[in-house]
Amino acid sequence: MTDNFTELAFTDSVKALQEKYGSRTAYQRMEQGGKFRNQLTWQEQGYIKNRDSFYLASVGENGWPYMQFRGGPKGFLKVVGDNTLAFADFRGNGQYISTGNFNATKKTVLFLMDYPKKQRLKIWAEAEILDPAEHPELAEQVILPDYEAKVERIIVFKVQAFDWNCPQHITPRYTEDEIKDSQQELMNRIAELETENKNLRNLNVHST
């Protein structure tokens, strides 16, 4: 576990660009200002539990990066320890690129988005592939019994560092459920007015 995400993110080439574009001094003070939080707090854990998707990076033996999208019911990415995440990986198209890369290099970054609130959380981690049959207790934690998909493996992430990004340039997007939730108050009011109108019509009928 690193003391600071900058130990992983700020390589020499990154620092050179920070110097070129004028941000190096500020980030250097940040690096020297003490340890960052490196334990997932209630804030990070709550955020993770409310996600229904995330982006997952890996690197192969040839040095080429790869990015995948992972989605499922809200909370399918589980917090199974103070700094450990895991999820049940479902059968896909059979390419196994991320799985193979994790077996080779283990390194990954998870990118978790909350589009409506314009928030994003980056997590540096080391990935481990486990057989659900050999880890029944963990499988019970991460497998979703009501979700119709074939679980092939469990992927465990040992968090090494994390960082919250600024909200700049994030275009808000909403899921179908989020749109329904945002309109629920309006729909309830419409239902009340329809009931009121019906009662008034009935009252007029009886009065005549």
- Contact status, residue 174 vs residue 115, Cβ threshold 8 Å: yes
State the pLDDT at residue 93.
Answer: 83
* pLDDT single digits (tens) 114-139: 998 999 999 999 999 999 999 999 99
Is the model's pLDDT at 182 over the cut of 80? no
Q: Residue 12: pLDDT band by 50, 70, 90 thresholds?
A: very high
Dihedral pair phi/psi, residue 83, rounded to 5°: -135, 35
Amino acid 111 reads F
Is the model's pLDDT at 196 over the cut of 70? yes
The top-level CATH class assigned to 38-169 is mainly beta
- Mean pLDDT on 74-79: 94
Q: Between these two residues, 156 and 164, which has the higher pLDDT value?
A: 156
Q: Which two tokens stand for residue 99?
A: 């799985």
**Quick one: CA torsion of 60, 142, 177, 115, rounded to 10 degrees?**
-40
Domain boundaries, the chain: 1-36, 38-169, 174-208
Angle at the Cα of 140 from the Cα atoms of 73 and 104, rounded to 5 degrees: 80
Q: Where are the beta strands (DSSP E) in 76-174?
A: 78-81, 84-90, 107-114, 119-130, 151-164
Q: Which two tokens stand for residue 167?
A: 């909200």
Cα(39)–Cα(17) distance, integer angstroms: 29
* pLDDT single digits (tens) 20-43: 999 999 888 878 766 666 789 999
Q: Are strands 65-71 and 107-114 parallel, antiparallel or unpaired?
A: unpaired
* pLDDT single digits (tens) 101-110: 999 999 999 9
